[in-house]
């Protein structure tokens, strides 16, 4: 209410002030134009009389050109003309200068003698400016400081009397200053500003007092609602000093506050129970996810152990059949058995590594710094492989709790796989981001992509599409991400590349 009232009064005051100021400018500009016209007429009459008397003292000119030169010579050499121009300008409060100008624009005489011989500067026509619209004229008057001119032409017939020639021979330019106009209105403008400012202050004071008195009951109701919302509700009796309608509203709020207070306590207890239940469920889900991961590993290991055992059994049967054969055949079969035994040993060792509990050393880390360190590490390898790497990080640190060494190896596995997939070079984009409440890392390559029928097996132990691959890199990455309470997922499009996305819970760093 205060703001609206003051705004309305301010608009009214500004509108009235603008109207009054426009009237003042109109009056002052009209007076200035009248002074300029009067001065122009006086100077023109003086020039005509002086030229006609001075011409009689010279031989009559034979041509129009001689006539012009004679008139210009009379104007230039007249010692009284500059004094007369200066006195005329001084007697007016608005006139800045007066010039006598030839038809070619040369100043023949001036109230400022040092301007004689210079070229006259064209100014805005004063009468045309006064005929413009009020708002445009007022804005121009307040924001700029131009000079205006009133010009009257004098022909040869006017100057020479009976020569009968009417071409303009020179002009009288009377210059009016915008600064002088403002100075003439300074007292009126100061009085207008005082009245407008006083009106606004008085209005503001009256509005504040009236609004405080009118809104006092609403303020009490607002305070009651705030206490209810903050949980510090205390019922108040009475409603003294309030109108009947406001007293009824306050009593209803008191009743509502009591009910809300009880509901708030019930809600707090329910929230505590839900949080406890969620913590238990989260713990159980974590155990279940780890058991599921171990189950996947166990099934993979069992499958890999079965194949070499079948090979060993088959070769043993062949060896028995060839015990009586040449030594070369027996040695070849024994070599096959040795390789299969070595492969079985590697499988068992890997399974033991996965089955052994991993100790994670958590500390505060910056995912952007980890990504940059890995990108700098593989940059020489990427250059040799003709892979253009690009790292994009947010301006603020992407802080989270992590075991830096474990995550470095996991991220390095993904980047190495991406580079190996781009056999003929390509683009590798590593991006760190800060989604709501988490930090994420994306590794996108421009390789051939992963076939749709193989995507479900990507994180399985010993699964690989590479000729010399071990099939444990992505399984290690998957386990490292899970141990950090994170998630890992990927999208792939055949012929256009694959993007892996790792996401971890963020931590808030306090300054």
Give the pLDDT of residue 443. Answer: 94
Average pLDDT over residues 233-245: 52
Binned at pLDDT 50, 70 and 90, residue 374 comes out as very high
188-197, 294-303, 472-481: the lowest-pLDDT one: 294-303
* pLDDT band, very low/low/confident/very high, at 162 (cuts 50, 70, 90): very low
DSSP letters along 261-293, please?
HHHHHHHHHHHHHHHHHHHHHHHHHHHHHHHHH
* pLDDT of 428: 94
Q: Which of 256, 200, 250 is nearest to 220 (CA)?
A: 250
The torsion angles phi and psi of 93, rounded to 5 degrees, stand at -80, -10
Q: Pseudo-torsion of CA 361, 366, 370, 372, nearest 10°?
A: -170
pLDDT at 85 over 90: no
Write down the pTM of the prediction.
Answer: 0.38
Who has greater pLDDT, 136 or 357? 136
7 has a pLDDT exceeding 70? yes
pLDDT for residue 19: 74
pLDDT of 425 higher than 80: yes
d(Cα 100, Cα 109) in Å, to the nearest integer? 5
Q: How many CB atoms lie within 10 A of CB 291?
A: 10
pLDDT of residue 364: 93
Closest CA to 148 of 123, 130, 172: 123
Judge whether residue 254 has pLDDT over 50. Answer: yes
272 or 395: which leads in pLDDT: 395
Residue 328: pLDDT over 70: no
Q: Give me the domains of the chain, ranges plus CATH numbers.
A: 2-189 (no CATH), 361-505 (3.30.565.10)
> What per-residue confidence (pLDDT) applies to 34?
81
pLDDT above 50 for 164: no
Long-range interactions of 385-389: CB distance < 8 A, separation 24+: 385/419, 385/422, 385/425, 386/424, 386/425, 386/426, 387/419, 387/422, 387/425, 387/426, 387/427, 387/428, 388/425, 388/426, 388/427, 388/428, 389/428, 389/430
User: How confident is the model over 32-66, as pLDDT tens digits?
Assistant: 778 888 888 888 888 788 787 777 777 777 777 77
Are 292 and 454 in contact by the 8 Å Cβ rule? The answer is: no
pLDDT at 9 over 90: no
Q: What is the mean pLDDT of residues 171-199?
A: 74
């Amino acid at each position: 209410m205060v703001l609206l009232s003051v705004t309305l009064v301010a608009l009214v005051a500004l509108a009235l002030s603008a109207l009054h100021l426009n009237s003042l400018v109109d009056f002052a500009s009209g007076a200035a134009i009248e002074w300029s016209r009067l001065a122009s007429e006086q100077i023109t009459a003086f020039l005509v009389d002086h030229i006609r008397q001075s011409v009689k003292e010279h031989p009559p000119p034979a041509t129009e050109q001689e006539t012009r030169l004679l008139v210009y010579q009379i104007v230039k050499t007249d010692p009284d003309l500059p004094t007369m121009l200066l006195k005329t300008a001084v007697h007016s409060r608005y006139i800045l200068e007066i010039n006598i100008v030839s038809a070619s624009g040369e100043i023949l005489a001036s109230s400022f003698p040092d301007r004689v011989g210079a070229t006259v500067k064209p100014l805005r026509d004063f009468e045309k400016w006064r005929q413009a619209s009020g708002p445009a004229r007022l804005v121009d008057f307040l924001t700029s400081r131009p000079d205006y001119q009133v010009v009257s032409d004098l022909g040869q017939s006017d100057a020479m009397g009976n020569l009968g020639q009417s071409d303009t021979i020179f002009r009288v330019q009377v210059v009016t200053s915008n600064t002088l106009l403002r100075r003439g209105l300074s007292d009126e403008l100061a009085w207008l500003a005082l009245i407008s400012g006083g009106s606004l202050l008085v209005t503001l004071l009256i509005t504040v007092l009236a609004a405080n008195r009118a809104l006092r009951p609403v303020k009490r109701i607002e305070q009651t609602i705030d206490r209810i919302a903050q949980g510090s509700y205390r019922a108040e009796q009475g409603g003294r000093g309030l109108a009947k309608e406001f007293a009824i509203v306050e009593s209803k709020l008191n009743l509502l506050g009591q009910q809300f207070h009880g509901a708030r306590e019930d809600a707090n207890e329910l929230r505590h129970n839900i949080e406890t239940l969620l913590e238990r469920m989260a713990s159980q889900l974590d155990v279940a996810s780890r058991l599921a991961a171990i189950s996947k590993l166990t099934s993979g290991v069992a499958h890999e152990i079965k194949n070499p055992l079948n090979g060993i059994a088959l070769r043993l049967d062949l060896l028995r059949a060839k015990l009586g054969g040449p030594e070369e055949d027996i040695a070849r079969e024994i070599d096959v058995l040795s390789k299969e035994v070595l492969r079985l040993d590697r499988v068992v060792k890997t399974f033991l590594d996965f089955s052994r509990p991993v100790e994670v050393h958590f500390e505060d880390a910056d995912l952007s710094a980890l990504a940059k360190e890995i990108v700098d590490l593989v940059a020489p390898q990427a250059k040799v492989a003709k892979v253009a790497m690009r790292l994009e990080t947010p301006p603020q640190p992407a802080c989270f709790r992590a075991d830096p060494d474990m995550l470095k190896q996991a991220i390095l596995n993904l980047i190495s796989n991406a580079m190996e997939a781009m056999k003929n070079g390509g683009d590798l984009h590593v991006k760190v981001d800060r989604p709501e409440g988490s930090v994420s890392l994306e590794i996108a390559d421009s390789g051939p992509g992963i076939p749709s029928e193989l995507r479900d097996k990507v994180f399985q132990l010993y699964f690989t599409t590479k000729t010399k691959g071990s099939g444990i890199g992505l399984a290690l990455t998957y386990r490292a991400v899970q141990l950090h309470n994170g998630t890992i997922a990927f999208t792939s499009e055949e012929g256009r590349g694959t993007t892996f996305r790792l996401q971890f819970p963020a931590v808030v760093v306090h300054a």
